[in-house]
Amino acid sequence: MAVIRAVGVADPASPSGCLLYIVTNLAQTPLSDRLRALVDTVQHNERTLRRFQDVELRLIGAQDFASFLDTLFVHLPQEFALASVSVWLDDRAPMLRDLLEPAALRALDQHRLKTSREGGLAASRLCETGRPWLGRVGEMDAVSCATFFDDAAMPASAIVLPLAAGRKVSGYLCLGSQDSARFGVGMATDILERFASIVTASLDNVAHRERLKQLGMTDSLTGLSNRRYFDERLREEIQRAARYSVPVACLFIDVDCFKRINDTYGHLTGDRALAAVAACVRQQVRLGDTLARYGGEEFAALLQGDRSDALIAAERVRHAVERLDLQDDNGERIALTVSIGVAARTIVGGGHDAAAQGQSLIEAADRAMYQAKNKGRNRVEVLGDDVREGGDKA
């Protein structure tokens, strides 16, 4: 009888759950049986490699981080009947820092993506020689189990693969199976290590793509979103507000007497003033609100809430900027204030013309800001009553 040796990872078509098979000890079987076994093995391996190539192509072609994670967490376990797939990534790695900052992680809402320091240390202990760890999950330490698995769905066996470029490890990929024999000590891991290298390269590609996208949507001086990004978010927010009949508000913020600051202290100090105001405003609005440098010394904030909420936020911003301690080259304090216009709308009748409705909202906030300027600066103004888009004045 032929002896079959397993190489690699899981295959849903196989009861034993192993990926590649090599027929050994063929001399004890009749020639026809040996040939049939060899053909079956070659065909099986070809099918498995094609499935792996499909997953790899998805990873390589991922245009954003969400698509990359979807391939790992949804497509990969479906393709190979895995009980679980989880990833630990080092948020200190330069290329991953933006992808893994807290707000971005909350937006992704992926509990299988881990970044805790304890989890990274536990994974590095498992793979301390730089080689994958594999075996029964019961043999893992408690911290590693907590890092890679949910208590309610603990697999029977698993493999932990370092995601490394050269000697630098940026994360670990963990695959789990309900079959306790699927990932065992002594199993060849060549195919899986190759797959881990594809995951690492694809992750680097995604990080570069996201970085380029961010640069195209970010103001280089302040680090805030730019007008292009703000206009896109404004359109999306108008559509959301129309769909759920909720209010949306806009703040239009202008640094008072900014030309005098440039003329008196120079453009480098003017740039520092803009950066300081941007950071200050960012701290005063909620995490989910959109803040952008709209142009020159103007900033725009898009808030979820009604006029009362927007006025409270605007006053908070005004007070915070007024208290800023920006100093000139001689250590003297430079007084900074802002004038803020507020507009808030409840969108009714659908958000079909979201661009036009968004433009109307920001124009109202802009007019209110000029009203604040005309009334003496360093103040917050709102024009009359809120307007119910698509209907009458409210």
Annotated catalytic sites, by residue?
297
Distance in angstroms (rounded) separating the CA atoms of residues 118 and 184: 25
Whole-number Cα distances in Å, 100 to 82, 91, 118, 168, 172: 25, 6, 16, 18, 15
Strands (E), 199-288: 247-255
Distance in angstroms (rounded) separating the CA atoms of residues 211 and 73: 23
Say which residues have a Cβ less than 8 Å from residue 67's Cβ, sequence separation at least 6. Answer: none
Task: Find where tokens 């893994």 sit.
Answer: 100
Distance in angstroms (rounded) separating the CA atoms of residues 290 and 287: 8
Whole-number Cα distances in Å, 161 to 33, 176, 326: 37, 12, 49
Report the phi/psi class of residue 347: left, alpha or beta, with left for phi > 0 and alpha for psi in -120 to 50: beta
